[in-house]
Amino acid sequence: MSVVLGIETSCDETGAGLVSDGVLLGDALASSADEHARFGGVVPEVAARAHVSALVPMVRQAVDRAGIRLKDIDAVAVTAGPGLSTAVQVGLAAAKAYATALDVPLYGVHHLAGHAAVDVLDHGPLPERCVALIVSGGHTSLLALRDLARDPVVHLGDTVDDAAGEAFDKVARLLGLAYPGGPAISQAALDGDPAAIAFPRPMTGPRDAPFGFSFSGLKTGVARHVEAATGPIAVADVAASFQQAVVDVLVTKALRACRAEGADTLLMVGGVAANRALRAGMQEACTAAGITLRVPPIRLCTDNGAMIAALGDLLVRADVKPTGLASAVEPGAVLTGALIPPR
Ligand code: KG4
Ligand code: ZN
């Protein structure tokens, strides 16, 4: 049995994880979110510097928590993209150093495939085929998945503008809520009425791309509402109504994709999958439709090292050829499969 070290530095979280045969042995996570809060978004240079100081301590902490030694590691997997270029560089450079020092194979992997792979840790092997909804800060996609380690990923639809998480972050800023916006909105929404304001459900019309998304119009809808307000803004109602609009769109499209693909399993992953209203809404719709919903535990939905280790573990067990020391950062990598092949 191999032990895989996973390293994640694509945005503002420095993650390290250790996975063996589908089991999480230990992980550790540092975040520079507080350092970005006053800018209202991630500052790449600040994130990269934070990774430099946090990375080795996080690997050490993960190794300690796993109760192993560094020399027990049999392979290293690292996010090679997509993400902030300078941030990803830090993780990749460190991963190359660990792989070289330990004389073990290196896999440069796709961050979004990691989001999907992490579900294996709590819920066991993925089915032979399923539909995946990836909802993160940078991406919103509906995918047809087969063997995540070996097979190409098929895109059924993607967002044409903002990602779902990006919409949460931008609307939070409009409402004067803290960064990152997703948790802030879901918190504010607890006291609000989701039916208070009828925000648009973009791209749900009969002539729209059936599996495509667009969230920038929804964000504009919220901005118009805020601008038009004459008195104080009912932040809780706006947050709850916005959140409900996002949930409605994601549920409608994800179930439509499952029906079209004849898939009996829906995998929902990425930072926005941590949203409780979305988890509840999707579960309700899937139960009614006889679809099995798989969602990772909340703590593993947002960026972490365990997800990259989980993906590396799938690659090792599938005997996939490592990308090796030629692995290079691809900041805008499109999700076509688990690996980011060196150019
Ligand atoms: O997957 P992730 O950690 O990083 C990317 O790969 O982008 O996703 C981060 C995004 C952010 O936009 C954040 O606001 C959103 O996920 N998010 C949430 C929640 N927690 C994080 N959105 C809605 N509700 C949440 N509870
Ligand atoms: Zn992510």
| Domain identity same for 22 and 166 | no
So what's the pLDDT on residue 40?
A: 80
Residue 343 lies in a domain: no
pLDDT tens sequence across 305-326: 999 999 999 999 999 999 999 9
pLDDT tens sequence across 60-106: 999 999 999 999 999 999 999 999 999 999 999 999 999 999 999 99
Q: How confident is the model at residue 38 (pLDDT cuts 50, 70, 90)?
A: confident
Question: Which residue is closest in CA terms to ligand 1's atom 14?
Answer: 182
Query: Could you tell me if the CB of 42 is within 6 A of ligand 1?
Result: no
CB burial string 30-42: b at 16+ within 10 A, e below: bbbbeebeeeeeb
So what's the pLDDT on residue 330?
A: 98
Beta carbons within 8 Å of 148's beta carbon, 6+ residues apart: 113, 116, 117, 126, 311, 314, 338
| Domain identity same for 166 and 247 | yes
Question: Which residue is closest in CA terms to ligand 1's atom 16?
Answer: 271
Which range marks the domain in which residue 308 is found?
4-117+304-326
Distance CA 196, CA 192 (A): 8
| Domain identity same for 82 and 19 | yes
Distance CA 249, CA 245 (A): 6
| Domain identity same for 183 and 100 | no
pLDDT over 90 (residue 219): yes
Boundary-marking domain end, from 296, 312, 336 = 296
| Domain identity same for 102 and 214 | no
Task: Report which ligand 1 atom has the smallest distance to the Cα of 139.
Answer: 7
CATH number for the domain including 48? 3.30.420.40
| Domain identity same for 110 and 146 | no
Give the pLDDT mean for 183-199: 98
pLDDT over 90 (residue 336): yes
Tell me if the pTM is above 0.95.
yes
Query: Could you tell me if the CB of 296 is within 6 A of ligand 1?
Result: no
Distance CA 120, CA 122 (A): 6
Strand order, beta sheet including 13-20: 23-31, 13-20, 4-8, 75-81, 106-110
What is the 139 CA–ligand 2 centroid distance (Å)? Answer: 8
Nearest to residue 116, comparing CAs of 242, 288, 240, 300? 300
Q: How many CB atoms lie within 10 A of CB 44?
A: 16
Distance CA 169, CA 246 (A): 13
Residue 338 lies in a domain: no
pLDDT tens sequence across 241-299: 999 999 999 999 999 999 999 999 999 999 999 999 999 999 999 999 999 999 999 99
Residue 54 lies in a domain: yes
| Domain identity same for 206 and 308 | no
So what's the pLDDT on residue 185?
A: 98
Give the pLDDT mean for 27-49: 93
As given in the structure block, the two tokens for residue 253 are: 């499209």
So what's the pLDDT on residue 17?
A: 99
| Domain identity same for 82 and 163 | no
pLDDT averaged over every residue in the chain: 97
Residue 72 lies in a domain: yes
| Domain identity same for 309 and 242 | no
Q: Could you tell me if 338 and 113 are in contact, meaning their C-beta atoms sit under 8 angstroms apart?
A: yes
Residue 143 lies in a domain: yes
Residue 122 lies in a domain: no
So what's the pLDDT on residue 181?
A: 95
Residue 89 lies in a domain: yes
Nearest to residue 175, comparing CAs of 317, 40, 78? 40
Give the pLDDT mean for 13-24: 98
So what's the pLDDT on residue 237?
A: 98
As given in the structure block, the two tokens for residue 310 are: 């989980």
| Domain identity same for 311 and 289 | no
| Domain identity same for 68 and 150 | no
Peptide bond between residue 296 and the one before it cis (omega within 30 degrees of 0): no
So what's the pLDDT on residue 103?
A: 98
| Domain identity same for 133 and 262 | yes
Alpha-carbon 244 to chain mean position: 20
Ligand positioned closest to the Cα atom of 47? 1
Residue 145 lies in a domain: yes
pLDDT over 90 (residue 343): no
User: What's the total number of domains in the chain?
Assistant: 2
Q: Which residues surround ligand 2, an ion (CB under 5 A)?
A: 136, 303
Query: Could you tell me if the CB of 271 is within 6 A of ligand 1?
Result: yes
